[in-house]
Amino acid sequence: MVAESFPWWLRITHWFNFFFLILLFRSGYEILMSHPKLYWHDDAEPGTEWLRAGDRERSTEFDKEVIEDDELWAAEDEIDPPSALVSLPGRDAIGMGRHWHFWGALGWTLCGLFYVGALFTTGEWARLVPTSLAIFPEAWDNLLTYLQFRIPHGDGGYNALQQLTYFSVVFILSPVMILTGILQAPAFRAHLQGWFSVNRQFNRSVHFIGFVAFNVFLFGHVALVAAHGFWSEMQLIVIGPGEPTGALAAGWTAIFGTAPTGYELTVALTLLGVGIVGSFAGFATWVTLRDPDRTQNWLEIVVDPLLHRLFTHVTFYDGDDVEEYSDFARVNGKPPRNDAYREHFEHDFEDWTVTVDGEVEHELEFSTEEIRELAKQEHVTRHDCIQGWTYYAKWGGVPISAFIERCNPDDDVEWVVFWTLDEKWEYSEDGPFEEVDDAVPEFYYEAIRLEKAREPRSILAYEMNDGDLPVAHGAPYRLRIESQLGYKMAKWVNRIEFVEDFEDIGKGKGGWRDDVLNYYPNSADI
C-alpha cells in the first residue's frame, strides 16, 4: 500500500473542522431541544410532528380568554432542556445556544471556504471530485466488502466509497446545512413569500436530517479509520507518512533526548488535539453558564454586525399575501396577573390607553375609541418563535406609521420601544429564575428599529383571525411586524417610546428577553 501524503492545509483544516463540528452539534442540539418537535408544514400544529422527543406534550384545547388558568400553557413549557454533556451551554438557554451556533457556523464556513479554495488551487480536488461514472459501481463493491468486515483495496488505501462519501459531505451535505440554516430566518420568508418556497419547518426538518447525517458520517469515518488501522491512518492525517522530521520532531528530541517515532508523535498530537477540542467544549459550557452576559458580548463581536448586514437588505416584501391562517396558534408569555391588568380585563379594556412619548415633537395618548378611528389594516403573517415553531394568523390593527406621523420623532431616533403591562410573573419566584436581575425593568419591553416600525405591515394589532385579540395573544394591543422573530412582538402594549438608543433601558440589550435570556438584540431576523 502506498502511503498517502496530505498537504499541510488539509491536515490543519481537518482539526478545525472537527472543532467547529463538535461546537455546532452541541449548540444545535440545544436549539433543537427548545422545541423538540419536527414538522413538514408551517402550521406546526400539535399532533402533526413527524418526530418528537421528550414528554412535554400539550393539549391543543385551552381557553385563551382567561388570565389565570393552569391549563393554559406557553410554548416555553415545551422546552426540554438537554444535559450540558451533549448540548451547549446545556440547561434552558436557547439564547446562548444560538450565539454559539452562529459563531460556530461562521468559523466552520470560513474553514470550509479555505479548504475548498485550497482544494481547487492545488489540484487536490481530483482526490474528491469523481471524474467517471465508474465510481458508483466501485463504491457499491467497496460497501459490500466492508459489510463482510473486509477492507477493500484501493489506490493508496483510498477507495471509491470513501471518495464518494467525502465528496457528498463537502459538496452536498455542507451546502445543504448552510442553506437550510439560513432559510429558517423569518427575514427570508418575508422576502421570498409563499407557503412552500421558504417553509421554515421544512428547512428545520432537513437541517435536522443533515445533523443526523453528519453524525453518521463522523462516527462511520472514525470507525473506518479504525478498521484500516487507527494509528497508521492517524499518522497520515496528523503528521504525514515516514519518520517524523521538522520542528515538531526536533522539539520532541530536545525534550526527551531521543527522536520520536511516527507512532509516538501521532499519539501525542492526537491526544493534544482531542484534548483541546474537549477542554474547549467544557470551557464553553462553563463560561456560558457562569457569565452569560460577558460571553454573549464576546460572541457578538463579529457575528452580530454580520447578521445585521446579511439581513438588513432582506426586509419587507410586499408581494402576494397568504390567505389562509392556521387552525391552531401557540402562545408564548402567559397573560399578566397584576391587579392593574386584571382590572382592565374586568372592564373589557375600555379605559386602556396607549401612550406615545420619548424623543418626539408631540407626546400623545390614545384611548380605545381614538385607536379605532385610525385607518385599520389587515393581513396574514407567519409567526416565527425563536424556539422554532410557527403559525399563520390574520391580524387587524393600526399601522405603527400612523403613530409615527402624529408624534413626529426627532431626527436622531433610531429605535422604538414597545412597553407592556406584563410583569412576567412566570419568571419570578414561581418560574425557573429565583429572581430576575434588578437592572431589568419591571415590565416586558422590546425595541425594534424605526425603519422596521415604518414598514407597511408593522401594526399595533387589536384583532386576530377576524375576532378580538384574545387575552393570551396580547389583548387589547400587541405589536405585529414582518420578518423578525416573535419575541420582538410585545403583547399587552400600553406605551410606545421613541429613543436614540436603548443603552439606558434595563441591561441595555434592547428588550426583556435580550436582557434576561440573552437573545440577540439587533438581529431578530434569524
Q: Is 487 in the site for Mo ion (CB under 5 A)?
A: yes
Nearest residue (CB) to ligand MTE, 49 versus 514: 514
Q: Cβ of residue 385: shortest distance to ligand MTE, in angstroms?
A: 4
Beta pairing, strands 493-499 & 354-358: parallel
* Burial status of residue 63 (CB atoms within 10 A of its CB: 0-12, 13-18, 19 or more): exposed
Asked whether the beta carbons of 213 and 219 are under 8 A apart, the reply is: no
**Residue with C-alpha cell 380585563?**
345
Phi, psi of 486 (to 5 degrees): -60, -30
* Closer Cβ to ligand MTE, 360 or 386, answer by number: 386
CB of 332 to Mo ion, least distance (A): 4
Residue 333 beta carbon to ligand MTE: minimum distance, rounded to whole angstroms: 2
| Min CB(419)–ligand MTE separation in Å | 9
Q: Which is nearer to Mo ion, 35 or 344 (CB)?
A: 35
Cell of 35: 422545541
Smallest distance, Å, CB 141 to Mo ion? Answer: 51
Q: Which is nearer to ligand MTE, 20 or 512 (CB)?
A: 512
Phi, then psi, of 498 in degrees rounded to 5? -100, 125
Should residue 296 be labelled a site residue for Mo ion when binding is judged by CB under 5 A? no
314 binds, among Mo ion, ligand MTE, none (CB under 5 to 8 A by kind): none
Q: Which does 188 bind (CB under 5 to 8 A by kind): ligand MTE, Mo ion, none?
A: none
Residues near ligand MTE, by CB under 6 A = 329-333, 383, 385, 420, 422, 444, 473-474, 486-487, 489-492
Q: Classify the phi-psi angles of 149: left when phi > 0, otherwise alpha if psi is within -120 to 50, otherwise beta.
A: left
Please state, in angstroms and rounded to a whole number, the distance separating the CA atoms of residues 38 and 32: 9
Closer residue to ligand MTE in complex, CB, 11/64: 64
Nearer to Mo ion, 35 or 191 (CB): 35
Q: In the chain, what is the straight-line distance between the N-terminal and C-terminal CA atoms, in Å? A: 49
479 binds Mo ion (CB under 5 A): no
Q: How far is the CB of 158 from ligand MTE (least distance, A)?
A: 49
Buried b vs exposed e over 473-511: b needs ≥16 C-beta within 10 Å? bbbbbbbbbbbbbbbbbbbbbbbbbbbeebeebbbebbb
Least separation in angstroms between residue 477's CB and ligand MTE is: 11
Residue 224 to residue 232: CA distance in whole angstroms: 12
Smallest gap from Cβ 473 to ligand MTE, in A, equals: 4
| The binder of Mo ion chosen from 162, 332, 381, 390 (CB under 5 A) | 332
**C-alpha to C-alpha distance for 388 and 247, rounded to whole angstroms:** 49
Q: Which does 473 bind (CB under 5 to 8 A by kind): ligand MTE, Mo ion, none?
A: ligand MTE
**Cα–Cα dist 326/145, whole Å:** 51
Near Mo ion by CB under 5 A: residue from 385, 471, 490, 516? 385
Question: Residue 452 touches which of Mo ion, ligand MTE, none (CB < 5 to 8 A by kind)?
Answer: none
For residue 44, which of 201, 207, 202 has the smallest C-alpha distance? Answer: 201
| Region near Mo ion per CB under 5 A, out of 47-55, 100-108, 375-383, 479-487 | 479-487
Residue nearest to ligand MTE (CB): 333
Q: Who contacts 9 (Cβ-Cβ below 8 Å, separation ≥6)?
A: 114, 115, 118
A 10 A CB-CB count for 140 gives 13
Label residue 471 exposed, middle or buried (CB < 10 Å: 0-12, 13-18, 19+). buried
By CB under 5 A, is residue 486 in contact with Mo ion?
A: yes
